[in-house]
A and B are shown apart, each in its own frame.
Chain A
Amino acid sequence: QKEVEQNSGPLSVPEGAIASLNCTYSDRGSQSFFWYRQYSGKSPELIMSIYSNGDKEDGRFTAQLNKASQYVSLLIRDSQPSDSATYLCAVTSGGSNYKLTFGKGTLLTVNP
């Protein structure tokens, strides 16, 4: 059973701080890695994708991937109350370029 593990949370940070979200995966064959944000009662929305080792930055978000350690993380700089949501890590698995396995998510709360 391919697994994706996330730090359980909930994670609480003050406004303006850096929020760090972590994820490990068990399938060494995984090729694509994603972070989704899910507000309560809403469907997931893609915020970051990363496919190669290293860092990828998009505005206040930075995704980091280390395939040797089977580890992917998401940093949110200058956290805002509107960032409060559950963050889901997802990886392709099962030898597929399309099938996603999701972690259970980390609930982030940004306090004003």
Chain B
Amino acid sequence: SAVISQKPSRDICQRGTSLTIQCQVDSQVTMMFWYRQQPGQSLTLIATANQGSEATYESGFVIDKFPISRPNLTFSTLTVSNMSPEDSSIYLCSGEEGHTEAFFGQGTRLTVV
């Protein structure tokens, strides 16, 4: 199956700053997704990123806080803006393959201090 390289794998950031997470897929995928996994919780979808159009955000997530880019079919970025300690979480990107079988990047463990 396809492989996603996600970076950084972890970071510790100061509150009020922003962090951009990158995902590179080794093949073309139509749709990519960004998830958040808070400590002890399951995955929550942040947004769906399609190439050539604006990302579609889920309820509770807004573009100003989580801007997303999708410049081509193998790459996407998620920025966590104006961070606060509540943004401390694992962020995961995924792509779909075949019949909606999603595969994930390695995750970014973010700690905001």
Contacts and interface: CB of A to CB of B under 8 A. Distances in A.
Interface residues of A, number: 21
A102 B43 CA distance: 6
A101 B42 CA distance: 9
Contact of A98 (B42, B43, B96): B96
Nearest to B96: A98
Contacts of A102: 42-44
A43 B101 contact: no
Nearest to A6: B42
Contacts of A88: 42-43
A100 to B, nearest CB: 6
Question: How many residues of B sit at the interface, in one of the four size bands?
Answer: 20 to 34
B105 A43 contact: yes
Interface in A38-84: 42-46, 49, 51
B84 to A, nearest CB: 23
Contacts of A43: 92, 104-107
B45 A99 contact: yes
A99 B41 CA distance: 18
Interface of chain B, helix or strand or loop or mixed? strand
A24 interface: no
B53 interface: no
Nearest to A104: B42
A34 B101 contact: yes
A111 to B, nearest CB: 22
Interface in B1-55: 1, 31, 33, 41-45, 48
B101 A51 contact: no
Interface of A: 32, 34, 42-46, 49, 51, 88, 90, 92, 97-105
21 contacts: A32-B99, A34-B101, A43-B92, A43-B106, A43-B107, A44-B92, A46-B1, A88-B43, A90-B43, A92-B100, A98-B31, A98-B48, A98-B96, A98-B102, A99-B33, A99-B48, A100-B33, A100-B43, A101-B45, A102-B42, A104-B41
Which 7 residue pairs of A and B lie closest in terms of their CB atoms, listed nearest first?
A: A43-B104, A102-B42, A102-B43, A43-B107, A104-B42, A32-B100, A98-B31
